[in-house]
Amino acid sequence: MLTSRGCWCLFSVLVILSLGLLRPSQTLTLLGLTLLLWFAGQWLWFLVRLSGVRRLHVRREVWDDRSVVTTLWAGQTFEVRMRLVAEGRLSLPHIAAADRLPFAVEHIDGSLHVQGIVSAKEPLETTYRIRCGPAGLVRFEGVRIEAADWQGLFYYVHFVHAVVVLPILPLLMPRTSQPASLKRHNLLLPPGIHRFRCPGSGSELLDLRDYLPGDPPRTIAWKVSARRDRLITKEFESEVPVRCTLFVDASNSVRVPAPCGAGPQQIRYGKALDRLIDIAAGVLQANASIRDLTGLCLFDEYGASYIAPARGSTHRTECLRLLAAAAARLPDQPTVPPDHLLPLAYSFAAEVYPELLRPAVNSVPLAMIWLEGFSGYARRLHGGLLELLHRRKSALRTLCWWTSFWALVLPVSLLLARTLFRTRALDNSLLIILFFAPLAVLAAWGGTIFLFGVDAVVGRSKRRRDRWRKQLAAIVSARYGLAPGGLAVLLEDDDAFSRLLQRFLSEHQVPYTLPLYSPEGRYLFAATEKITVLADALVRAVGRGRDNELFVLLADLLELDDALDPLLRAVRVALGRHHQVVLICPWPPGLDLPPTRGQGPGAGDAKGPSSLALGLSALGPQQLWDHVTTQRFHRAYQRLRRTFARLGVAVLCAAEEEPVPLVLRRLERLRSLGRPHS
């Protein structure tokens, strides 16, 4: 509340007043009193006007070129108009407002800051332009308000919450060429209708067969019947719409950032899911343009959500919204130590929830920080000696008290016993106790004081971390309905705290990174459960499907060879029902592309083991790590391709360099060629 400027001013005024009263000097006293009254008056006036600051409102509108919008598009530019409105007649102190820019957008021009005095008649306004990032959600939290008097002696920070969540839909690529315009047969079907080599009511001849009773007379091939001297019936192909169902992987494994590499593309495609969503949106758009029906199934480790194939703009918007919501989800992993997330979460909370971090509502007792420490059971298992000391300071204190207690009780008991039984052993024991008890007490207290001193000197970062943890635990406990007991639980249980912290960050769309591997070296985001979910979803889609279905699996199945069996069974079922299946595997951004068919997995390393070892030794640790990861992914991709090639399923790699149209062309080729009827 009081700035350093205010503190110095108050100090000087008090010095003048004290000197005036003590010396005594009427001039000085009067001077001190004048300044003190002015200072107190300013303070009170500032306090009274602060209630108006807390009642400020924010009105925000997002405009495109023409009007206010409620849906944004990836990569597009929009204008944000923010207006700060005051209620009541009381004039407010000088205010600086800063609109908090969401993480999903980029500021282009215009000012996020505006300052002045707000009143009911004259609101503060600012306008700026933003460019949206990849598909997801954009969350405007509100406006940070700084209030001060004109002298800068008093200061107050407030955050006006005005949460607006808008979806960023994936950008629909403009079509550069007209696919499938080649006339492969002497037939050009209307858009949305495809040949299906099963007997049906189409116009293209499929086969001739013997007449069966009940066949319509108009299908009899009279000329052929005359030649063969028996009735022959014509069979025609079916002409059906192709239904395409997209199975998009939204599991943890595609929500984590790329495992290695860094480049300009990594900023655009920070995670594999962004790429998948762009491809899905591209396929949606392409299918819509040729009037094909498109369905969507989003799946993760826990379950799947399904939208039946349909066409039309409403259906497409619904699919895009679902994709945007999936893109907005951040990875979650309960076994991650919360210390990784604490600095980010605390700085965000300090920015957006300053009122919930005030000592009046969210205190951190000094005794707990300096004398007791937060025990944090789960973390204590992995901590070092200093960490253990920091955590168990209360145990040291208890040890001191118990030592002192027994050092007092034992001699008294022995003295009492000696009055009853006078034995030599008792005398000796008493002597030993009388000698060692004070020593033990001294050692216990001295050692404890020393260890407390050590902790006080080296444990500054730990104390800060404890403070952050307590305050954040209190906030998430109250926010997620765990109060009043949740605070104590979250201080002890690292996993629960970590999970809620991730939820807190995820809800506010704050991007965070998690360690990919556990301390034991286990990959934490494999998400093998999604295979079963995907297989079930595929089987269900086959069950609902009609004749000519195309199932596009946009899923990260790399290095999950051992768990693929349920999916392979489901794919066999789909192929057995004459449907087509395509697998598009997202390629992690920043990694080299897998070798093409001519090259083997180790084609680049054909110089021999010795030269390879020499080359590897010249690499730095980061490059070596990248190299090993790349090789690992290449091998996994080849294995996956071989596995699905046995079933006749094409596997495409959705690499960052590979444009969406290329993927679409491959899909188009697969669709137009069709699968021979077996």
501-520 residues in contact with another protein (CB under 8 A) are: 503, 506, 517
- Which residue matches tokens 């079963």? 532
**Token duo for residue 605:** 């390393």
Find the shortest distance in angstroms from Cβ 446 to another protein: 26
Q: What is the largest CA-CA distance in the chain?
A: 139
By the rule CB under 8 A, 479 interacts with another protein: yes
Residue type at 64 in one-letter notation? D
Which span (50-58, 118-126, 264-272, 458-466) binds another protein, by CB under 8 A?
Answer: 50-58
Of the candidates 478, 539, 573, 612, which one interacts with another protein according to CB under 8 A?
478
Using alpha carbons, list the distances in angstroms from residue 200 to 204, 531, 656: 10, 36, 42
Closest among 434, 3, 666, 284 to 11, alpha carbons compared: 3
Find the shortest distance in angstroms from Cβ 671 to another protein: 30
What mask of x and - would describe binding to another protein in positions 109 to 128, judged by CB under 8 A?
----x-xxx-----------
Q: Is 528 exposed, middle or buried (0-12, 13-18, 19+ CB in 10 A)?
A: middle
HSE (CB half, 13 Å, CA atoms) of 105?
30
By the rule CB under 8 A, 626 interacts with another protein: no
DSSP 86-131: --SSSPP-EEEEEEPPPTTEEEEEE-SEEEE---SSS-EEEEEEEE
- Structural contact between residues 32 and 53, judged by C-beta atoms closer than 8 angstroms: no
**Token duo for residue 111:** 């000012």
Of the candidates 305, 429, 631, 643, which one interacts with another protein according to CB under 8 A?
305
**CB nearer to another protein: pick between 150 and 435:** 150
State how beta strands 124-132 and 77-85 pair. antiparallel
**10 Å Cβ neighbour count for 277?**
28
352-391 residues in contact with another protein (CB under 8 A) are: 355-356, 360-363, 365, 368, 375, 377-378, 381
Of the candidates 72, 135, 148, 352, which one interacts with another protein according to CB under 8 A?
148
**CB nearer to another protein: pick between 482 and 573:** 482
462: Cβ–Cβ under 8 A, 6 or more apart, which residues? 386, 387, 390, 455
By the rule CB under 8 A, 321 interacts with another protein: no
What mask of x and - would describe binding to another protein in positions 551 to 570, judged by CB under 8 A?
--------xx-xx-------
**10 Å Cβ neighbour count for 183?**
8
Closest among 47, 81, 12 to 149, alpha carbons compared: 47
Q: What is the DSSP letter of 152?
A: S
- Structural contact between residues 316 and 284, judged by C-beta atoms closer than 8 angstroms: yes
Find the shortest distance in angstroms from Cβ 585 to another protein: 15
Find the shortest distance in angstroms from Cβ 56 to another protein: 11
Residues paired with 140 in a beta bridge? 164
Find the shortest distance in angstroms from Cβ 554 to another protein: 18
Of the candidates 236, 445, 480, 512, which one interacts with another protein according to CB under 8 A?
480
Distance CA 502, CA 23 (A): 62
Which span (1-9, 189-197, 443-451, 538-546) binds another protein, by CB under 8 A?
Answer: 1-9
Of the candidates 71, 265, 448, 528, which one interacts with another protein according to CB under 8 A?
528
Q: Is 275 exposed, middle or buried (0-12, 13-18, 19+ CB in 10 A)?
A: buried
Distance CA 275, CA 260 (A): 16
- Report, in this order, helix, strand and coil percent for the chain, each rounded to 5: 45, 20, 30
- Structural contact between residues 231 and 211, judged by C-beta atoms closer than 8 angstroms: yes
**CB nearer to another protein: pick between 182 and 367:** 367
**CB nearer to another protein: pick between 93 and 282:** 93
By the rule CB under 8 A, 325 interacts with another protein: yes
State how beta strands 650-654 and 580-586 pair. parallel
Find the shortest distance in angstroms from Cβ 13 to another protein: 7
By the rule CB under 8 A, 344 interacts with another protein: no
Of the candidates 94, 107, 175, 467, which one interacts with another protein according to CB under 8 A?
94
**Token duo for residue 442:** 């001294």
Residues paired with 553 in a beta bridge? 247, 583
Which span (44-52, 76-84, 199-207, 459-467) binds another protein, by CB under 8 A?
Answer: 44-52
- Which residue matches tokens 């406990």? 477
Which span (397-405, 457-465, 494-502, 564-572) binds another protein, by CB under 8 A?
Answer: 494-502
Find the shortest distance in angstroms from Cβ 282 to another protein: 23
182-221 residues in contact with another protein (CB under 8 A) are: none
**CB nearer to another protein: pick between 347 and 599:** 347
By the rule CB under 8 A, 399 interacts with another protein: no
**CB nearer to another protein: pick between 276 and 575:** 276
Distance CA 297, CA 291 (A): 19
By the rule CB under 8 A, 334 interacts with another protein: yes
Find the shortest distance in angstroms from Cβ 270 to another protein: 19
Q: Quote the crossing angle between the two packed helices 26-53 and 4-22, to the nearest 10°.
A: 150
Find the shortest distance in angstroms from Cβ 616 to another protein: 17
State how beta strands 57-63 and 136-148 pair. unpaired
Find the shortest distance in angstroms from Cβ 406 to another protein: 20
**CB nearer to another protein: pick between 34 and 623:** 34
**CB nearer to another protein: pick between 202 and 259:** 259
Closest among 552, 475, 6, 480 to 246, alpha carbons compared: 552
By the rule CB under 8 A, 500 interacts with another protein: yes
Find the shortest distance in angstroms from Cβ 376 to another protein: 9
458-477 residues in contact with another protein (CB under 8 A) are: 474-475, 477
Which span (29-37, 102-110, 210-218, 408-416) binds another protein, by CB under 8 A?
Answer: 29-37
Judged by CB under 8 A, the number of residues near another protein is 106
**Phi and psi (nearest 5°) for 558?**
-65, 140
Which span (6-14, 447-455, 586-594, 655-663) binds another protein, by CB under 8 A?
Answer: 6-14
Of the candidates 60, 71, 85, 96, which one interacts with another protein according to CB under 8 A?
96
**CB nearer to another protein: pick between 3 and 76:** 3
150-179 residues in contact with another protein (CB under 8 A) are: 150-153, 155
DSSP 3-state of 299: strand
